[in-house]
A and B are shown apart, each in its own frame.
Chain A
């Protein structure tokens, strides 16, 4: 088996150290202000693309960033126990989803997503990181090998399996249909 030579890509990372978080929510404040229009003209953590999951009595402070929108909530919601503290799975989940009120524009309910403060000119670090004097949020850029493309033989093997199940005629029809839609 051979694979195409993979290209390195740059991954922007915010490293979240929950042990260092003091729960001040400055990240929410500056995020919402910087996404206001005009910029910084208003503040509203409900519009922020980062929210601190705070359970002070349980000593839980987790900054979590808005990720993809999902139309449906999870069928089950698990719990993690880490170091004696019980976390809802949602505490680590980035989805803008029906089961939580985070990561939605309060006026329209439209989903929000962290854009890593992409702007022109580019910021040295996202603003939430700049405003986190507790250093719970730190910024890292790292390069990663892109995931290798599947080898042609792997595609052959998949198609053969489909043909064995549905017959070549139906697979050919399906391929033609999909190719047109594409």
Chain B
């Protein structure tokens, strides 16, 4: 018997219209767990680097985490993978909500879609009954409308539906897959779904998900719930309210937006407004939220309430939102929250990423202001600022006129427009739009995270280590006193000694070796979560979460029937992390791509930055080009990657296989 996982993938070839239930190799679970880990393996095996994003040979994989569907609180995440049209790299965009557990309960760990349907279709998965159904009448409809119509057509009010809107159908490079409570937004996974002519996937399941050691497993779940209860009453002192609790930043519950509105950049990630948050603004925005927010909402089997139902014009819910998407449209347009929540409703129906879409629109308006684009490029553009954003959104999702160029995101649009437009696509890493954040002094920890994060989003790598030191040593000591989540005592020491000013402050502190360890720890926790399907909000994202490195090996072992301790889990995680990188290295990722936006920090330190990246690469077991060395690959049972790298000339052949000094046995535990 298989535990936690079902042991089957659902393979659908949309070109041929074939559907297969394929047993998976339990050895792969031991090597990679599930979710992102097994997705990465699948892509390595089946998607060579020659495959174009919009090719029938690109796969679209919905991979549930290993523990999804078990009673582990917050284990509900699905990792959606494909080759991204935007970065042209291996994408892994994640969603919580209810869809992943339903797929597990229907009897599948992953849905693997290949080929391209001749007509627009949707999939209906009801346990062993799987159909490819006509979706022609759903063409052009919004993602949430689509979900509702499918539930009605099937007469299955409780089916879970993942769907795309116009943006996905028209292959907008930042199109999302929406599923009501959650969405997989980053890196254009919706565009690949649209390219496959797949409008939606509806799922309903009624099969058991087993756990290996039930009593112990339940005990651990109960302890986590108890931890969450206690923590809800005891937020972390000295930390801003949205980050003082668990879950994703509590943007839906908390009205104080001083930090975001004054520290993050407005427009095309350009302008800081340091005195923006006044009492009047606070009153108006609170009023908007109180009027439009109908209910705080959870994902499957999670006690946190990170999301909210937002009702724009009626008391009925129009869409669901969470986290910083609350503000991205507002701030891109220099507008107010009322506008932001209204346009987000349209954007959610169209299915676009709430980081990239507003930034791309603000970028277009900057180009207009600079004379690089002219009114001839935007015939009919309304005079009012907010009208302009609605107009641009509409053109982008329809790929009409200038929208056809903007639909490729700022990096590709700037290239196509030319005339100096590249200067305006200034907030990208690896060709994709980042959080609109422009700061003063280089932070070494964040430098490495921005450079080397392969998820193209800082929130998917940062987390367990505080973003900044607390003011006084006493406060830092108090914080460290019950910090059981750290891998070892050194992390406490690094934090306690970290000062806001002076010798032990950024950029020189934490020292390079400590910085490597801190970055590695934070990233590692995310990679564990992405394999188990645990929400980062209860594990890798917040300070002092209930699930951490000293608890997760046992939880995974009891759930999946594996025999993991910390060392073994670290090893599996390093293997997954390395295999993700291997996929990208093979697709052309180089050291040159690993840099933050030029203007992310005003004060930069080229020598220190070089040293940081050199040392971190070594720490990870990569050579100075960022390529995993053959020793690292061998240690991780990834010799097949070495073989491939040698054939492609990425690693030198047998004779000259010496990697740079210090790069072997990187110590990245």
Contact = CB atoms under 8 A, between A and B. Distances in A.
A40 B217 contact: yes
Interface in B177-219: 180-181, 205-211, 214-215, 217-218
Given A26-B303, A29-B301, A44 B209 contact: yes
A46 B295 contact: no
Contact of A23 (B215, B218, B298): B298
Contacts of B269: none
Query: Which of A24, A33, A36, A40 is most buried by chain B, counting CB atoms within 10 A of its CB?
Result: A24
A42 B317 contact: no
The interface centre, meaning the residue of B70, B148, B158, B209 with most chain A CB atoms within 10 A of its CB, is: B158
Nearest to A134: B303
Given A23-B297, A54-B158, A57-B316, A41 B303 contact: no
Contacts of B148: 57
A58 B157 CA distance: 12
Contacts of A49: none
B516 interface: no
B208 A36 contact: yes
Nearest to B309: A59
Contacts, number: 99
A22 B298 contact: yes
B266 interface: no
B294 interface: yes
B415 interface: no
Interface residues on B, range: 35 or more
A106 B126 CA distance: 13
Given A22-B296, A24-B298, A59-B295, A43 B69 contact: yes
Interface in A10-67: 22-26, 29-30, 33, 36, 38-47, 54-59, 61
Contacts of A44: 105, 206-209
Contact of A33 (B218, B298, B303): B218
A87 interface: no
B665 interface: no
B305 interface: yes
Given A24-B303, A36-B208, A59 B69 contact: no
A69 interface: no
Contact of A30 (B71, B229, B299): B71
A43 B297 contact: no
Contacts of B303: 22, 24, 26, 133-134
Nearest to B217: A40
Contact of B209 (A42, A61, A106): A42
B71 A29 contact: yes
B295 A22 contact: yes
Contacts of A85: 315
A87 B509 CA distance: 60
B144, B148, B225 pick with most chain A CB within 10 angstroms = B225
Contacts of B414: none
Contacts of A47: 208
Contact of B301 (A24, A38, A54): A24
A30 to B, nearest CB: 6
A139 interface: no
A41 B215 CA distance: 8
B432 to A, nearest CB: 30
A106 B298 CA distance: 26
Contacts of B71: 29-30, 33, 40, 43
B312 interface: no
Contact of A58 (B73, B296, B299, B317): B317
Contacts of A134: 298, 303, 305
Interface in B398-430: none
Contacts of A42: 208-211
A46 B209 contact: no
A84 interface: yes
B495 interface: no
Contacts of B69: 43
Contact of B225 (A39, A43, A57, A133): A133
Contacts of A84: 315
Contacts of B180: 56
B124 interface: no
A85 B302 CA distance: 26
Residue from A25, A36, A47, A57 whose CB has the most chain B CB atoms within 10 Å: A57
A106 B311 CA distance: 36
Contacts of B211: 40-43
Interface string B303-325: 10100010100011100100000
A58 B229 contact: no
Contact of A59 (B181, B208, B217, B315): B315
A26 B71 CA distance: 8
B300 interface: yes
Interface string A90-131: 000000000000000010000000000000000000000011
A26 B76 CA distance: 12
A97 B294 CA distance: 32
B228 interface: yes
B181 A26 contact: no
Contacts of B225: 130-131, 133
A116 B162 CA distance: 35
A131 B298 CA distance: 13
Given A24-B302, A33-B218, A45-B105, A59 B210 contact: no
A55 B309 CA distance: 12
A131 B301 CA distance: 9
Contacts of A25: 98, 300-301
A39 B229 contact: no
A114 to B, nearest CB: 18
A43 B258 CA distance: 43
Interface of A: 22-26, 29-30, 33, 36, 38-47, 54-59, 61, 84-85, 106, 130-131, 133-134
* CB-based closest 10 A-B pairs: A46-B206, A24-B298, A133-B303, A40-B214, A42-B208, A22-B298, A106-B206, A41-B214, A40-B218, A44-B208
23 contacts: A22-B298, A23-B298, A24-B299, A24-B300, A24-B301, A25-B301, A40-B211, A40-B217, A41-B214, A42-B208, A42-B210, A43-B69, A43-B70, A56-B309, A56-B320, A57-B316, A59-B309, A59-B311, A61-B295, A106-B206, A106-B207, A130-B225, A134-B298
Given A40-B211, A40-B218, 6 more contacts: A23-B298, A41-B210, A47-B208, A56-B309, A58-B316, A106-B207
